Structure 1
Amino acid sequence: MRSLLRGPKELTSARLSLLGLLFVVIISFSLRGRQDTSTTPVQRRAVRRDAGGALAPSPAVSISSNSSSSSSLLRRQDYSCDASRPCSNGACCGGGGFCGYGPTYCGAGCVSNCDAVAECGQYASPAGKTCPLNTCCSEFGFCGTTTDFCTGNCQSNCVLHPPPPAGSPKNKALNRVIGYYESWSYRSSCNKKAPSDMPLSELTHLYYAFAFIEPVTFKLTTMDAQTPEELFKLTVDTKRYNPGLKVYIAIGGWTHNDPGPYQTVFSDAASTEANRQKFADNVLKFVNLWGFDGIDIDWEYPGADDRGGTPADTENFVLLMKTLRQTFNASPRKLGITFTIPSSFWYLRWFDMPGLLKYADWANLMSYDLHGTWDANNPIGAIAQGHTNLTEIKLAAELLWRVNVKPEQVAIGFGFYGRSFELASSSCTTPGCAFKGGAKPGPCSKTSGVLMYYEIQAILDQVPGLTPVHDEDAAVKYIVWDNTQWVSYDDADTFDAKVAWANAIGFGGSLIWAVDTDDDKFSAMSGLMGHEVAHVDLAQRATVESQISIARSLQGENGQDCVVLKDQACKAASDLRCFNGETLVGWDRDGCSNDQEGKPICCPSSTAPRKCMWRGSGGDCNGQCHPGEATIALSSWGGKGAGFDGESGTGQCNRGAKALCCEAGDWKNIVGACRWTGCGDDCDGSKETEVSSVGDCSLLRSRGRKRTNCCKVSKAPPKSLTCDHNSCFFNPAACVVGEDEYGNRPTKRDTMLWADLEERGNRDFKWLTNPSALLIASRALGYPDPAGYMRRLRQNLAGLARRWFDMRSRACGDPSLRQTDFPNLDTAPAGGQVEHVVPLAFVLGRFPAVANHGRHWRPVPRSSRNPVPDGPPTRTPAINEAFWRDVWRNPNALPESFGPIRQPDQYVNEQIGSNSNPTAFTMLRDAVNGQKGRFEVFNSPMEIRRFERTVDRGVGGNETAVEEWLDTLRETVAAFQYLNDPLVVTVQDDSVARVYQALQRIEQVIPAAEGLSAHWNEAYPHYFRQVSEFTRTYMADRIRYVRNAYASDGSPFREYVLAEIKRIEDQIPNMKYAFED
C-alpha cells in the first residue's frame, strides 16, 4: 500500500492591517492525497510556502482557523529585522527594524535586502503588476483574498468574494463520477483490490494511478518494477462490465516530482516543441496499445521550486496540452484530456487555467487534504482540523472564479479516507485542539496520520460507545477513541452537503481519491451516490452475457433492443402504446404519481419476447429472473396491471431493483455450464455452443488471459448453415491485387494473387485536378508480400505483429475474426494477405483530391472516368493546382534532410507502410481484406444485382448460393471486427499520426503546401465516417431484401437463414471505426 500523505501546499492568504500595528495572516494549507513510491506508507515532508509574504512593524500575528468550529488562536511570529537578521521573506529591512516595501523600507536607512520589490502594485516590478489568479493586491503590495487585501486602498482585482461565472447547468455533480484506482493496491498484502473490484456500475470514468514518464525518452511506464504491465489491460478490461465506462491513464502523481530521476521530467517534456511532440506521440501510442480512452495529467506541480518546477512551466504546460490535443485530434479515435489542480493558492498560481482549458476537457480539483500533521511545521500550528472543510473548499473555488473558470469545467474532489492525529490532551478533543503527532497507524495502511475508509468503518464497528461528531458548517465528521486518537472523515451526511453545494454551483462532475480505499460494502460510495451500491457480480455478468449470446443464436426472442420510453409523459397503463413495428411487452411506473400510470416498454416486433412479468418484492426487491428468462429492464417501481403481471405492486423499492423478466425462447434449454477458454481455443462442438470471442486475446501475446466463450446446452440449437468456402472461392477476382488505378475495383489479373508477389506496389492511383482536369498519378511504394513478411519475422524484426487475423468458424452466421498464431515461420498461412491498415487508395488518391478541390467525397462508387470529389466543401481552403502539378510528384522537392525519399507523395506513402517500413502492416484473411478494400472506396461488398440474384437462387433451394451471399455479409462484419481490434487500432492511429506529422514537415519547407495537415485532419475522419455509414446501410438493405425473399414458407433453408441473418444483423451497430463516437 502506498501513502496518501503529502506535504502542505501553501499559505493561501496573508492579512495586513495597520490598526494596532497588527498583521493578521489567514493561512490555509491544501494537500493532495495521492501515493508514495515506497511499499510501506511514509509521511511526506512538510513544505512551507508563504503566499502572501506578509510583513509588519509588529511581531504579533493572529492566526485563525478557517473551520467554523475551530477556536481563534494566537501565534507569534517575528517580523522585525536588522542588518544581521534580514527579513525572512526577502523584503527590505527598513531603518526602523521592520520589513516592508517602497521608499519607507527600501530607501534611506534600509539595512538589508534593499533591492526587494513588492509582490504587486506600485512597488512591484514592473510597477502595477497584478497578482496571480487575479487575487487582490493590497495597499502594501501583498497578494491575498481577505478583507485586508480586497478592501480599503486595495490596488487591483479588489473583489472579496467573486461569484462563479454564469451559465453552468445545475445538478450535474454526479453526472460524471471519476474514481481513481491506486495501482499499488493490486499487490497489497492485506487489502488487495483489483480494478474489477471497484464499483464499476456507478463510475463514469475509472482512472488508473499512475503511469510515470521515463526521462529522456518521455515514454510512459509503470511506477516501479513491482507493478505489472498487465494491470493496464486489467484496468481497461473493466469496460466489459460497464460498456459506458471510460478508462483513463493518470500520468504523474505527487511522488513523480519527488527528488530523483523523475522530478524534472514534466518540465523537460514541456520545455521544447520537439520534446512536447515526442511526449505526445508516446502517449498516443501508449493509450492505443492498452486501449485507454484518455489521459489525466497529474503534474504536481509546475512552477513550484520545491517540487522541481521552473517559472517557464506555466507557459510550457499550456503548450504541452496544445500539442497533446493536436496529436489526439490527428488520431481517428476520440481521446479525452483532463488535468488535476490543487485547492491551494501557492501551487494553483502556477496554472494558466484559461489556457489549459482551451485544450483539456475539464480540470479535477483536489478539494481534500486541507489539513494534516504537516500543519505542525507551519504558521497555522499543531492543531487538529478536518482534512476536508466545505468553508475552505468554497474559498478555494473562488480562486477559479477569479480567472473565469466555469464550474462546469471542474470536477470537485472527495476523499475516501481520513486524516488522524494524536491529541495533546484528552481534555481537548474538538477541532482547534492541539495535537502532538499522527494517530496510531491503521492495521493495513500502516501509516501514522492517515486511515483508509475501511479502517475508519472498522473502528466505528469495533469500538463500543463511539459517537461521531458532525461539524455541519464544515461538512465533516470526526471521532475520538482511546482518549487521544482523532480522525476526520466524510459519510453520507457530509457527502450530501458537499454534493448539494456542488450541484447548486454547477460543478461538472466529481472525483474520488481513491475508490480502492472504500470498505467491502462500498459504504463511502453509497454515501456519495445517495443510494446503496453493490458489487458487480463479474462471473454472473459474464455468464449472463454468454447466455444472451446463445439465446440470440437459438431463437432471437430475448428482448434485445427493447427500450423503456422514459421520455414519454406518464399515462394510464391501459393507454400505453408503442410505435409501428414494435410490441408492448410491459410498462414501468417510473416515478409516476398514480400507481396505474407509467411508461411503455417496447420491443421490435420481429424479436419481441413473450410472457413477461416483473420479479422482485419487499423493501429490498432484489428482482431475479428465473432460468429460461431474459432480463429486459430494471426499475425501482415496476408495472403490474393492465394485463401485465408482477410479483408485487408498483410501490418503490427501498433498496435494490425489480426485474422485468420474459421467456427467452429456447434459453430455457441452457444448462448454464459456461466455461473459460484460452486464447484461440475452440468449443467442444458436440456439447457446447460458442459465444462472442472478441476482446481478451487482442494483443500480441495473450499473457494467459481468459474469456467466457463456451456454454453447454441440454437441447442443441438449430444447426447452423455451414460455409465451407469464402468469397474468394466464389469470385476469385475479388481477391486479386488491390484496387484498380482509381482505387475502385480489383484488376482483372485473376491469376495474380497477392500471395504471389514479392515486390508489391508499382500501382498508380489517379485523380483529376481542379480546375484543369490534369491527370495526377501517384505510384505506390513496394511493400512485402506474405513470404517477405514471414522472412522479416524470422529475422526478428521488432514491431511486426506475430499473429494474423483469420476467420476460423465455418458457421455462416458467425462473423468472428480472431488473432491466430502462425503455424510456423517458414511459410505464410494459406489465404493470408499483407494489408495496409490505412488504405493506399485514400492516402494517394482520395485525400489529395479533397485537398485540391476543397470538397469531400460523397459515399457513392466512383467511375474511373470521373474520379472527382463532389461532396460538401471543406473548411480548409483548397490547395492550388500548381502544387499538385509541380511539387507533389517531384522526386527532388524535399530537402536532403528528409532522407532517401524526397518526393512528397512517396514520403507520405512511406508513413503507412513500405518495404522499408513494414511494421505498419498486418496479415489478414484474403476474403476479409477484399471486403475491406471494396467498402473503403464505397464499392458494394457484392454488387447489388448479383447479390439479389444469388439470394433468389438460394430461396429456390440452391445451398451453395446461400453460402455465397452469407459469406459476403459475415466477411464484411469481420472486417470491422478487425478494424476495432486494439492492435489494429494502434497501428492505424500510429499511421494516421505519422502521415499528419509528415504533412506538417512538408508544409515547413514548401510554402505552397500550407493546409495539407489541416486537410488531413478534416478529410480522414469525414471520409471514414461515411465509409462505415455506407457499409452499415448496405448491410441493412441486403438483410431487408433477404427477409422479404424468405417471408413465405417453402424454402428448405428458411429457418436457418432467418436465424443466421439475425446473428449478423446484431453486429451492424458495431460496424464503426474506433474513432467514431
Structure 2
Amino acid sequence: MDSSTPSSLFKDATNLKSIKQDLSVFVSIGGWTFSDNGTATQPVFGDIAADETSRQTFANNVVHFMKQYGFDGLDIDWEYPGAPDRGGKAEDTANYVLLLKTLRSTFDASGSKFGLTFTAPSSYWYLRWFDLPNMIKYADWINVMTYDLHGVWDASNPIGSIVQGHTNLTEIKLAMDLFWRVEIPPSQLALGFGFYGRSFTLADPSCNTPGCPFSGASSPGPCSTTGGMLAYYEIQAVLSQGSSGKKRAAITPTHDKEAAVNYFTFDGDQWVSYDDEVTFKQKVDWADSIGFGGALIWASDLDDEKYSAHTGLLARSIISTPTLQSMDKALSNPQAVIDDLSTFTGQKCFVYDGSCVNLNDNTAMANACGSDFTVVGWDDAGCGKKNCHCGKPVCCPRASAPKNCQWRGQNTGNPGASSDCSGQCLPGEINVNSIHSKWGGGFVNDGDTDKCGRGDKVFCCPDPDYAQANNGCSYAACGADCPSGTSSILTKYDNCWAQGQNYCCPDPVELVACHWVSGTSGHDCANAVCNATEVQIDRATYGDKSFACDWGRSKSACCTVQKAPPPPATCSTGLCTLWPGFCPDDDDDESANNWSKRDLDLTPAIYDTPSGLEKRGGSSKKPIRAGDLLFYLIFRAYPPIGRLYNAANSYQVLRRALWLRSGWCSGSSIQVEDVGAGKKPQNMTGLQSEHPYDKQIMSAFATAASTGILASGGIAPIAPIPAAFWRDVWNASNNALGARPPVGSSRGAQPDTPNDRITEALGSTRYPYPFLATDAEINGAKGRVMGLNSATDLDRVADLATNAVNLDTDEAADALLSSIRIWFSVFEYYRFGAVRMRFNIVFNQVDRQMSFVEQDTSITNLVSWWHLFNDDYMRHVESLAQRRVRMAINSALEPYIQARAAGRNLRTYDRVVTALREALQQDGHRIWGLVVYRCTYKSDADWDEFIRRLRWCTRRSLEFYQGLDLMDSLGLTVLEDRSRFDGATTSIIRDHFRQWAETAVEAEQGAGARARDSQRYRYCIQVDEEALDSVVHRAPAPWGEIRVNNVGYVNLISKEWEPYDPVEYEDEEEIVEEPPEEPIEGCTLHDVGWMKVLYDRVMVSKYNYLRNGMAWEYEYRRPPQLSLR
C-alpha cells in the first residue's frame, strides 16, 4: 500500500475482531517490493535500525499506530538485511537485533500486550545475514517464507533455467535445517504456504517434468496480470476450462508425492506448480510431526470464491464474513460489539460436534449443549436410524436463544430433481451462524430430513432487528427517486428492467451494505444465502440485472443491520418511594435489611449523655441464640442525621455526604457533596447516619463465635467461645475494663462491660467518627447486602421487568434500571476512600477492645475469632453479591429477550438491554493482570529469573482453575526506569501508578473503556531488592516437586489508599485516630497502603479476591506480615 491507501482500510481490518473474539490482527511492514532494488524504500529499514534515536522514534510511532487502529502486533518483513545484491550492509545484522530489542521494550512499556514477529527467508544466501538466536529473544515467532523456492529468477542462478515446484517439501526440509543448526525451536516457527503457483513457458513442450528447461515466464493470468505466477483462482479456472473462454482438453495434474507438490501443462507450453488439499495435508502432517508453532499464507485474496485453498489447508469448510465497515465501535468497545452480534445474529450458536445424540433424551441433549446454552433445534447429520431418533442438537446461549426456527431448503417449489435443495431463509430471517446441512432436521422443517443430492438446507430464525430496521421501507415506482426523508438501499430490476426500482428506507437507515447474492453455482442460484451477520430483505429472479436464476430459483437481497446508538438509559427512580420499606428508618439504619424489622428489638431511646432521654437513634439489643444459650448484644445509641453535626464530639464527623446520583445510568452512581456549615446544615432530607461497619455483622460474629459455625456454613478451625463467657461475662461490669482508655478518642466513653466496649467501637453518640451522611437508598441496599440478602428482591426486579416490557415507557424502563444500578452503588460505596478508612478504623478499634477483654477476663481466642470471622464473612458477602446481581440482571433481561424473540418492536429495548449487558459484562476488558514496577537494578539475571518464575506461577494457577486460555489476554506490563524507580518508595510508585492508570484504560482496552472495578487499574506490584531476593534466592523454585516454607513475596500497592488527614479537625483540641503502630515509611497507621503478598499467588488468586470493593480491608496484613491467601 502507499500514501493513497485510505486509513479506513486499517479500521476495516481490525473490525473483524468484532466478529471473532479471539482474533489477533497484526500489521506487517516491509515486503519484497519494499526492499527490492531500484526502489526508494530499499534503504529505509537499514537507516532506521542503524540509529538509536530512529529506532526509538519508529517504535513509538508503531505503538501509536497500533493503538489508534486496534492492531495487536507487528510483523517486520525486512527481506534482505545485509545482502549486498539487495542494498544491504554488513552492520544490518547487528542493527536488526537492536531494532527488535527496542520494539520489544517499547511494546512492553506501552501498557498493551503487543506481539512482535519477523519474516525470514528459506534460502541460505539471504538467511545468513539474520542473527536468528539473538533475534528470537525479542520476537514471539518467526514467519518462514517456505515458498518461492524457484521461479524465473533461477535463469541467472547456478541452478539454471529449469522448471521446479516452488513449494516442494524436499527443499523445505533442507531449508529448515538452517534453523535447527542455530537451535531455533520449531514451536517458534510458522511454516509458509503459497496460494498461488509459479509458472513458466517451456522451452520444449514435449519436455514437461521437473528439470525440463524453460524459456521464460508464463503468460500473465487474466486477473493477476503478472507473468511467471498464477493465482489459485486462476489455476482452478484453467482446470475447470473456465479461463479466457478457451476450450481445452481435460487436464490431469501430476502429483509428485515425494516433493508434495502438483504440476500440469496447459495451452501447449505453459507449466505451473501449485498445492491442493492433498499436498497441503502432506506439508501440514510433516509440520505437525516436527512441532511447528503455526502457519502463514501468502496470500488469502488469491483463493477462489469457494475458499478452496483455505478449505484444503485447514481441512474444514470456510465461511465468508463480509467486511464490517463503519463499525468503529469495534475499537471502542469490542466486547459490546461481540455481544450485540451474538444476541441479534446467533454468532454463539453452534451444532454439537460430538457423537450422535438420542433426540428423545432431553438430558443428553442438554448435556451436549452445556451449561448456559439451550437446545433450539437439531440436525439429523446422517445420524437418524430406524432404531434411533438420533441427531445433533443446535445450541444457543440461554439468555438470547432465538425461537420459532426451522430448516429451509427442501421445499423449494422449483423445478429440478426432487433431491435438490436450495437453502434460503425467508425475508426477515437470518441463517443463524451460517448453520447448514445436507440433511436438515427439526424441530421444524419445510420438508424432510433426507439428504440433499445437490445444495444444502439452512437453519433459519426470525431476525429480531428486521421489523424495526425495515419499518417504513418500500419500493418506489419504476425509475423514481426515493421520497424526501428516505434513502435507497437497494435496486431491483425484475419488474422494471430499464430503470429499476429503488428500495427506500427512512433516514437514518439501519440497513446498510445491501447487495444481491446469487450463490456459488452460476445461473442455478443454488444456496443463494445471506452471510451469518446479514438479514435477508427480499428475493427475486433477476435482482441486480446481471442474469436470471434458472429453475425458478431466486437471488437473495442481503443487508447488514447497523443500529444507531441507543439513547442513554436513565436511573432516576426513587426506590424509597417505589418500594415502601426499602429504605431504613433514620433511628435504625438496619430496619429495612430484609424489608422488615426482623427480630431486632428496640429499647427506649436513651442517649449516653447527662441530659438523659432523646427521641431517636436510641440503643438497641439483639438476641443471640446458641443452642440453649440466649444472650443479648446491646448496641450503643447513636445520633440520627438531624443531630449528627450537633451532638457532642460532632467535630469528628466528615462534613461530606454521599448521595445517589440521579440521571444517566452509566458512570459513577454516587455523588459526593460538601455538607453546609453549622450544627444544623440545610438540605439533609433523604440522608441518614450510616454505619460503614454494619451492626448486623457484629450480630453474626456473636452467633458464629458462640456456635463455632461460620457464616459461610463451615466449621471453624478453633473452638467456640464458651457459653459461660456470653452468659456471665459479656454484659457484666468489669472494673479493669472501665479503667481502660476511652474508646475512639480522649473524649470517648469508657464502658466497663465487654459488650459495651466492643459495640462502642462501631460508633455511638460519644464516638460519632465512623458515621457518614449517606443517601437512604444506598444505606438500605448496603444493609441488605451486608446482611447476606439481595440489595433488591429478585421477584420485584422480575415484576419491574415485566411491567417495563408491557408498558414500554421511559418511566417503566427507568424504574427497572434503577433497581439494578443500586447494586453497583453498594460496590462503589465501599470503594470510596472515606468509607474504607472508617471501616478499617472500626475493625481495628474492635480488635483493640477485644484485646482488652482478653487481658481483663479469663477468655482467650476472642481476637482470633474476630479475624477468622471477618475473613469468612466478607468473602461470603462478596460471593453472594456477585451471584445475586447477575441473577437480578438476567431477571431484568429475560422479558426483553422473550419479547424481541416473539417479534415485538419495543421502543425502549435498545437502551435497556445495552445498559443491562454493560452491567453484566462488568468492565468488559480484554487485558487483565497487575502492573509490575521494577525498583531494583543490581542484577538483570535475577530480574529475568523473577519474571520467569512469576510467569510460570501465573500459568500454573490458571491451569489449576481451568482458565489457561486467559494467558492470551494477560497483560504482564513491567515498568522499568532506573533513574525514576530504583529504590523508590511505595508512595512514589503509587503516585506514578495513578498517573499511568489515568490514560492506560483507554489505551489498553479501547476508546470509551472505563476502569470500573478492574484490579488492573487499582493495584500494582512493586519489586524492591528485598522482595526480589525473597523470590529468587530464599524461595524454592516453583516447579520443584516439594514446595514448603515459601517466603517469596512482592509488595502490593493500593492506588486508592489515602493517609489519615488530621486537617479535618484542626479547630479542635484533639482528633480521632486509630492506635499508633510502629512507623513504616513514616506512617503509623495500621493500613499503610501496601502489603507483602506471596508472589506465586498475586497474579491469579489475589487478583481474583481483590475484585470486591472491600477486599483490600479483609485481605490486608500489615508488613512485615505476609498476606498468605
Larger relative contact order, structure 1 or 2 (CA cutoff 8 Å, min sep 6)? 1
Q: Whose Rg is larger?
A: 2
**TM-score, normalised by the number of residues in structure 2:** 0.42
Q: TM-score, normalised by structure 1?
A: 0.44
